[in-house]
């Protein structure tokens, strides 16, 4: 084959590759548009971002920041990200472990000496991180032996916040905000009841009638479990840092990215799948990907990363359905549209 033929052949395949990528983008772009504008069976009220290889491919908002004043949402608006916050706490714990300030497999009695229950001598930080600790109340016996079952909740991550303070000498807020600054996540911060910060209001949705949440349950204690405020753009930056190994050494990155228990979530199907340090390890439609969800206080969140195509999908809503049947309903539909585009040939 001549040099000229080689040149035109390579150009031809490059054009095919670009065309295929554009077709996939078009296939989910129109589908997401229809999902976020449809009001049946439930309205979507939030922001959607899809990025590939660090570049934004889709970014749109739909609905209101304030229903009473009819103020539309903007794509740069700040939302409570609920349990997505736990992933950030997990990274701070692993960074402290890297620095030799704590050990993941040492019983937590060492770091929280005020605990009086006997489980404090067997439950480790590892068990707190992956929700296999069995603690339902710090003053009561454990519900099950550490490491034998999975039970999701906020308590363990609130305890991890206390462990961070006792081992680093800094509050969760100080550590988290410092990390956000390093990552240039300029619109992300830890919720603070003393400041009137510019986040959107949360709403409960009953039959597409929206009622503002009057009092947030967020406070300093629950912040490590659910208290981060962020934007879709900043969370895309977080995914870039987390999944490209920019936050941890290879040893601790491996621990972060290894499932250590199993959990089921309706957004990803009826089967139990891998779960680690607040990362879900999903296998769906023949594709492996990572996800984290959040729900509460009038907010719904989904963060997914598809490593095979280096694609991030972030969805932040300032509405939470009263009807449990519709929890994360639109999030699942949007995720399925992107998943179908990625897996289509």
The whole-angstrom separation of Cα 310 and Cα 56 is 12
Distance, CA of 128 to chain centre: 18
Query: How much is the average pLDDT of 2-21?
Result: 49
pLDDT by residue (tens digit) across 106-158? 999 999 999 999 999 999 999 999 999 999 999 999 999 999 999 999 999 99
Q: What is the pLDDT of residue 27?
A: 79
- Which residues constitute the domain of residue 64? 43-343
b/e per residue 236-256 (b: at least 16 CB within 10 A): bbbbbbbbeeebbeeebbebb
SS3 per residue for the chain: CCHHHHHHHHHHHHHHHHHHHHHHHHHHHHHHHHHHHCCCCCCCCEEEEEEECCEEEEEEEECEEECCCCEECCCCCEEECHHHHHHHHHHHHHHHHHCCCCCCCCEHHHCCCCCCCHHHHCCEHHHHHCCCCCCCCCCCCCCCCCCCCCCCCCHHHHHHHHHHHHHHCCCHHHHHHHHHHHCCCCCCEECCCCCCCCECCCEEEECCEEEECCCCCCCCCCHHHHCEEECHHHHHHHHHHHHCCCCCCHHHHHHHCCCCEEECCHHHCCCCEEECCCCEEEEECCEEEEEEEEEECCEEEEEEEECCCCEEEEEEECEEECCHHHCCHHHHHHHHHHHHHHHCC
Query: How much is the average pLDDT of 11-19?
Result: 45
pLDDT higher than threshold 70 for residue 330: yes
Q: 10 vs 165, which has greater pLDDT?
A: 165
Q: Is residue 67 part of a domain?
A: yes
Q: Is residue 3 part of a domain?
A: no
Q: What is the pLDDT of residue 199?
A: 86
pLDDT by residue (tens digit) across 67-91? 999 999 999 999 999 999 999 999 9
The whole-angstrom separation of Cα 309 and Cα 332 is 19
pLDDT higher than threshold 60 for residue 7: no
pLDDT band at residue 12 using 50, 70 and 90 as cut-offs? very low
pLDDT by residue (tens digit) across 16-66? 444 445 556 677 999 999 999 999 999 999 999 999 999 999 999 999 999
Angle between helices 172-182 and 85-98 (to 10 degrees): 90
What is the total count of domains within the chain? 1
Q: Is residue 186 part of a domain?
A: yes
Residue 60 phi/psi, 5-degree rounding, is -145, 150
Q: Is residue 70 part of a domain?
A: yes
Share of the chain above pLDDT 90, in %: 89
Q: Is residue 30 part of a domain?
A: no
Task: Output the six-digit token pair for 312.
Answer: 């991030």
Distance, CA of 233 to chain centre: 13
Average pLDDT, the chain: 93
Q: Which residues, in sequence order, are bridge partners of residue 302? A: 293, 315
CB 164 within 8 A of CB 223: no
Distance, CA of 264 to chain centre: 16
CB atoms within 10 A of CB 121: 11
Distance, CA of 103 to chain centre: 25
The whole-angstrom separation of Cα 264 and Cα 330 is 18
CB 334 within 8 A of CB 35: yes
Task: Output the six-digit token pair for 101.
Answer: 């300030």
The whole-angstrom separation of Cα 50 and Cα 71 is 24
Residue found by looking up tokens 């680093």 in the block: 168
pLDDT by residue (tens digit) across 244-282? 999 999 999 999 999 999 999 999 999 999 999 999 999
The whole-angstrom separation of Cα 156 and Cα 160 is 6
pLDDT band at residue 207 using 50, 70 and 90 as cut-offs? very high
CATH number at residue 337: 3.40.710.10
Q: Are strands 203-206 and 319-321 parallel, antiparallel or unpaired?
A: parallel
pLDDT band at residue 238 using 50, 70 and 90 as cut-offs? very high
Q: Is residue 6 part of a domain?
A: no
Query: How much is the average pLDDT of 297-318?
Result: 98
Q: 228: closest CA among 271, 268, 197?
A: 197
The whole-angstrom separation of Cα 15 and Cα 218 is 51
pLDDT higher than threshold 70 for residue 11: no
Q: Is residue 123 part of a domain?
A: yes
Q: Is residue 31 part of a domain?
A: no
């Amino acid at each position: 084959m001549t040099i000229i033929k080689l040149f035109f052949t390579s150009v031809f395949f490059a054009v095919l590759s670009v065309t295929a990528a554009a077709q996939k983008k078009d296939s989910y772009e129109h589908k997401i548009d229809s999902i976020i504008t449809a009001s049946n069976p439930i309205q979507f009220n939030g922001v959607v971002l899809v990025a590939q290889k660090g570049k934004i491919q889709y970014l749109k908002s739909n609905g209101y920041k304030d229903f009473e004043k009819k103020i539309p949402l903007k794509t740069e608006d700040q939302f409570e990200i609920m349990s997505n916050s736990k992933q950030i706490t997990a990274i701070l714990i692993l960074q402290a472990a890297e620095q030799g300030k704590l050990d993941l497999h040492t019983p937590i009695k060492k770091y929280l000496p005020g605990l009086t229950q006997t489980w404090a001598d067997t439950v480790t930080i590892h068990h707190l991180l992956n929700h296999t600790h069995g603690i339902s109340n710090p003053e009561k016996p454990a519900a099950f032996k550490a490491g034998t079952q999975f039970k999701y909740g906020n308590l363990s991550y609130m305890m991890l916040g206390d462990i961070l303070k006792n081992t680093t000498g800094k509050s969760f807020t100080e550590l988290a905000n410092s990390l956000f600054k390093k990552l240039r996540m300029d619109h992300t911060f830890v919720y603070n009841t003393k400041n009137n910060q510019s986040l959107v209001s949360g709403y409960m949705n009953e039959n597409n009638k929206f009622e503002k949440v009057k009092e947030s349950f967020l406070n300093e204690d629950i912040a490590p479990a659910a208290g981060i405020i962020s934007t879709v753009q900043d969370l895309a930056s977080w995914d870039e840092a987390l999944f490209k190994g920019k936050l941890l050494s290879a040893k601790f990155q491996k621990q972060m990215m290894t499932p250590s228990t199993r959990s089921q979530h309706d957004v990803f199907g009826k089967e139990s799948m891998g779960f680690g340090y607040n990362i879900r390890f999903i296998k769906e439609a023949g594709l492996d990907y990572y996800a984290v969800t959040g729900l509460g206080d009038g907010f719904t969140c989904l963060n997914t990363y598809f490593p095979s195509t280096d694609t991030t999908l972030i969805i932040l809503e300032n509405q939470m359905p009263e009807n449990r049947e519709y929890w994360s309903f639109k999030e699942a539909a949007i995720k399925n549209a992107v998943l179908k585009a990625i897996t289509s040939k």
